[in-house]
Structure 1
């Protein structure tokens, strides 16, 4: 443990100003919080909180996360950590959240409950694709300008920005050659497919999903927008996946439309490109294979 005051008196004051919580005498324990932020379990007497810290310039990222958490909480479908305060000092941006006792999804029952909650979330639909504000996918900007055409939205606001970043970082080669051809043909996946603009978590890998102490499904670290529910389902399969009971229960409640497997690869290409841009060349081969495979399928 380390005293909160060791971080800075300014940070302690800013947290109290933003949240109304007196953190005098608080203690910190560093916890896992992903690769982007510094995360702490904060204890103040008998109270516990979850604190995210980053550089002061990261405040827009935390503000967007707070907005996404509020949107998810408003649906009353999942347990979502309550936002208690968000702000910055000269050196640090912070997000203070309710501390939840969480565990990974493990049992068939966990998977089924999570699926039932996700179906409810996806039934929260709007008139347009996108969101009322731009936000972030990890540390990368994510544009959400509302629109009526799903294929156009996904290509223009998801794939093209990531491909431009990849090229700027020097990942051209086959990635660049085949990607342009893929973008031309990708709308063909949506000729007879008009998904509802569902409320999406937006970054739904298993590390952002859990079960709380009461057995209720929980989600956090969102990148929300309204889009095709398949995008959330696709992401859930990308990095290890969820229990098989999750997929069985979801599809029983709301079957997938034809063409899901191709759409899944296209949607997950967005996340693989984002990982390439954030974490480096280790994702280049996977991105190239996905682009090439989709392009070859769409040429038929």
Structure 2
């Protein structure tokens, strides 16, 4: 999770284990990814990041100046994060080239052991989140036009693990959205318990959550003649991962954790009280992409998707009890509302 703050040069977060030298000189391996004849003019710390160090590289070639955005990570986990983000951004770029900065390359440093990099096109940003009517419409376009991965057509998931911050998420493939959501969310609950420590209240809610709530809200999407098509989503679209291009005025999204999902899952993080991309964006989105039937379940599905976001945040911010409290509250509300599960809905 990182933020590129326009043209501001901002002191990097010191939580990262990446040595500061990674953004003080341009590593020889990075130079091999630049066009022949490129001359480096300088490298400057740029942006804000919790687990990486980021920089702007200014270059000149054939008398023309250009800039690149550099993100660096360390260790085996950092290597996986870098590879994953490159692949996710490449997928998004293939579908929506005007919405995503071009990923150039990823690799490992030659001069500094165990440091890895992601090199991207540099886009000058305004520091403003795009307004609802502009951003929501572009996200609808992404969801409607995304191509699927070859032989995995019409399946949910991904062959690429993604990262919520530095928390790894395995996807795999599922034929139904309910199966994908239940399978992967169960794993996330285990990771949350490992990160935060055992919690009796959550443990007691696991069975009704998986046996009643998830079938009640997700099974109707794909039964009774209804169906949903997998959409390529950004995967973590909060206000820190969406900006406005200072030159074109168009939206830009970055730091992707992309996979193929029910399109409405993208809107789960738009329910979070801390996200500046909120209710107005959800409302605008559904002006262009109607709610999946049964439409009357849409807000409760959104609450379910927000629970999964809270699990991820509770894993990531394990020293902040607030995310676990939000998780417990969200689970309890849904369990209390749907005690009869899918069976009760089906016979009503």
Question: Given the superposition, is the C-alpha separation of residues 241 and 31 from structure 1 closer, same or farther in structure 2, using an over 3 Å criterion?
Answer: closer
Question: Given the superposition, is the C-alpha separation of residues 245 and 85 from structure 1 closer, same or farther in structure 2, using an over 3 Å criterion?
Answer: same
Q: Is the 8 A contact 2:270 2:279 kept in 1?
A: no
Q: How does 1:216-295 map to 2 (within 5 A)?
A: 216-238=250-272, 239-242=274-277, 246-256=281-291, 257-280=295-318, 281-282=320-321, 283-295=323-335
Out of 94, 98, 104, which is 2:117 matched to?
A: 94
> Between Structure 1 and Structure 2, how many residues are aligned?
295
- 2: CA distance between counterparts of 1:245 and 1:268? 16
Out of 144, 150, 153, which is 2:177 matched to?
A: 150
Aligned to 1:49: 68
What RMSD in Å do the two structures reach over aligned CA positions? 2.6
Q: Is the 8 A contact 2:55 2:71 kept in 1?
A: yes
Superposed displacement of residue 92, structure 1: 0.7
Instruction: Indicate the SS of the match to 1:84.
Output: strand
Question: Given the superposition, is the C-alpha separation of residues 77 and 121 from structure 1 closer, same or farther in structure 2, using an over 3 Å criterion?
Answer: farther
- 2: CA distance between counterparts of 1:69 and 1:76? 10
Aligned to 1:196: 229
Moved more, 245-254 or 177-186: 245-254
- Structure 1 unmatched ranges of 5 or more: none
- 2: CA distance between counterparts of 1:245 and 1:61? 32
Q: Is the 8 A contact 2:164 2:316 kept in 1?
A: no
TM-score (norm. length: structure 2): 0.77
Q: Is the 8 A contact 2:40 2:57 kept in 1?
A: no
- 2: CA distance between counterparts of 1:113 and 1:295? 36
Q: CA offsets per residue over residues 128-162 of structure 1, 9 Å max, x none?
A: 111232222221222221111101101111x1121
1:122 aligns with 2:162: no
- 1: CA distance between counterparts of 2:327 and 2:167? 17
Q: Is the 8 A contact 1:16 1:23 kept in 2?
A: no
Aligned to 1:113: 134
Out of 158, 171, 184, which is 2:198 matched to?
A: 171
Q: Is the 8 A contact 1:78 1:117 kept in 2?
A: no
Q: Is the 8 A contact 1:19 1:85 kept in 2?
A: no
- Structure 2 unmatched ranges of 5 or more: 1-8, 12-18, 149-153, 223-227, 341-348
- 2: CA distance between counterparts of 1:294 and 1:245? 23
Moved more, 241-250 or 161-170: 241-250
Superposed displacement of residue 5, structure 1: 10
Superposed displacement of residue 249, structure 1: 3.1
- 1: CA distance between counterparts of 2:335 and 2:98? 37
Moved more, 85-94 or 246-255: 246-255
Superposed displacement of residue 105, structure 1: 4.6
TM-score (norm. length: structure 1): 0.88
Q: CA offsets per residue over residues 40-83 of structure 1, 9 Å max, x none?
A: 22223532221111113211211111111111111126421111
Moved more, 17-26 or 163-172: 17-26
Aligned to 2:5: none
Q: CA offsets per residue over residues 169-222 of structure 1, 9 Å max, x none?
A: 313221222123211211111232133211111111121111212011111111
